[in-house]
Amino acid sequence: MNYKKIQQILKEKPKTWLVTGCAGFIGSNLVETLLTLNQKVLGLDNFATGHQYNLDHIEKSVSKEQWENFSFTKGDISDYETCINATKGVDVVLNQAALGSVPRSIDNPVISNNSNVTGFLNMLTAAKENGVKRFVYASSSSVYGDSEELPKVESRTGNLLSPYAVTKYVNELYMGVFYKCYGFESIGLRYFNVFGKRQDPNGAYAAVMPKWISQMLNGEDVYINGDGETSRDFTYIDNVVQANIMAGTTTNTEAFAKAYNTAAGGRETLNNLFNAIATGLKEKLPELEVQEPIYRDFRAGDIRHSNANIDQAKELLGYEPTHNLEEGLKESLEWYINDIKGNK
């Protein structure tokens, strides 16, 4: 069943969804889409990396009636009682709450583990105890570690390179065990370099795409880690939203207890990405001057190349990416220009 058909079914028969990390980049986009589909949405966030203004953006973008279907709780998934209370009466959990970033986990592995492992297990257990029908969660392409195989296939991973990668791999192990022990339906999504509107460009651990866009718009220096030939499968946020909804609604029993590459299935170098962003901005803002990038050392824990095989997600979840890098970048640039320039 395709995405458009699923959206129509959801509008006719709404579900109750819990989105953890709802004030973050991916979580807020999930909330927004679900509300536009007239779903009832519960949100949970501790604002460690999420922001109230993301929720404010959603309120402005949906109708009054749709916004009334959203209820928010400030809380932390590392607290089990919070998870128990949040999962009551929920049909589907979309667990996005986590401390992202490979460098952050290297700097502080304990706090990453507390959120990404203890918090994850709290949510998984609470969802099971409260009879949640489906549990979908954010895994990561970092689980491929030092594997040099391209494109990446779910069944073959390498040696892990960071505490963050360990936490996400542990999530996948728990998913499998909970299915074997309890028959609990969960699905993992291995995100590949997600980008798009509302992704935070600020902070020491900001992702490359929003950081570069913001720096170029503000006339600041742009740094490239390594020689710029590192490549990534950049994945637009709409593709990730679709994967979550398809995973949350699939009736294919073969799909459960598996992790899926969630990507566009392409690959682009950082050098080419820099040029694409600079060109796209100059097309919209001819007066903008963009300096040449400054190269510096490779970043610890980073893999050299990343490219996903998305056949399993297509076959078992019905996932079909709607945006490639070029299409997603065009929409992202429009959003950031309006947001950054509009706030000056």
Determine the pLDDT at residue 148. 87
DSSP-based helix, strand, coil % in the chain, nearest 5:
45, 15, 40
With beta carbons less than 8 A apart as the criterion, state whether 243 and 319 touch: yes
Cis omega before residue 14 (within 30°)?
Answer: no
pTM for the complete prediction? 0.94
Q: Which of 3, 144, 164, 319 is catalytic?
A: 164
How much is the CA Rg of the chain, to the nearest whole Å?
A: 19
For the chain, domain boundaries: 3-271+281-338
| Element of type H or E holding 110 | helix 109-113
Distances, alpha carbon 343 to alpha carbons 1, 289, 340, in Å? 42, 20, 5
3-state secondary structure at position 2:
coil
For the chain, 344 residues long, give each residue's pLDDT as a single digit of tens.
899 999 999 999 999 999 999 999 999 999 999 999 999 999 999 999 899 999 999 999 999 999 999 999 999 999 999 999 999 999 999 999 998 778 888 988 998 998 999 999 999 999 999 999 999 999 999 999 889 899 999 999 999 989 999 999 999 999 999 999 999 999 999 999 999 999 988 866 678 999 999 999 999 999 999 999 999 999 999 999 999 999 999 999 999 999 999 999 899 999 999 999 999 999 999 999 898 999 999 877 777 888 999 999 999 999 999 999 999 999 999 999 988 655 54
What is the rounded distance in angstroms from the CA atom of residue 333 to the CA atom of residue 330? 5
Neighbours of 304 (CB within 10 A): 11
List, in sequence order, the alpha helices (H) in 185-324.
208-217, 237-249, 270-284, 311-317
Determine the pLDDT at residue 114. 87
Residue type, 206: A
| Element of type H or E holding 269 | strand 268-269
What is the rounded distance in angstroms from the CA atom of residue 309 to the CA atom of residue 154? 8
Determine the pLDDT at residue 259. 97
Determine the pLDDT at residue 316. 98
Angle at 83 between CA 77 and CA 87, to 5 degrees: 135
Half-sphere exposure of 76 (CA within 13 A, CB side): 12
Determine the pLDDT at residue 204. 65
Please report where in the chains the tokens 């986009």 appear, as a residue: 29
| Element of type H or E holding 337 | helix 325-342
Residue 164 is a catalytic residue:
yes
What is the rounded distance in angstroms from the CA atom of residue 246 to the CA atom of residue 3? 7
What is the rounded distance in angstroms from the CA atom of residue 93 to the CA atom of residue 18? 5
Angle at 302 between CA 298 and CA 304, to 5 degrees: 85
3-state secondary structure at position 239:
helix
What is the rounded distance in angstroms from the CA atom of residue 148 to the CA atom of residue 201? 29
3-state secondary structure at position 75:
coil
Determine the pLDDT at residue 344. 46
CATH code given to domain 3-271+281-338: 3.40.50.720
What is the rounded distance in angstroms from the CA atom of residue 284 to the CA atom of residue 278? 10
Determine the pLDDT at residue 343. 53
Q: Which residues are bridge partners to 92 per DSSP?
A: 17, 134
With beta carbons less than 8 A apart as the criterion, state whether 240 and 193 touch: no
3-state secondary structure at position 215:
helix
Angle between helices 237-249 and 25-36 (to 10 degrees): 60
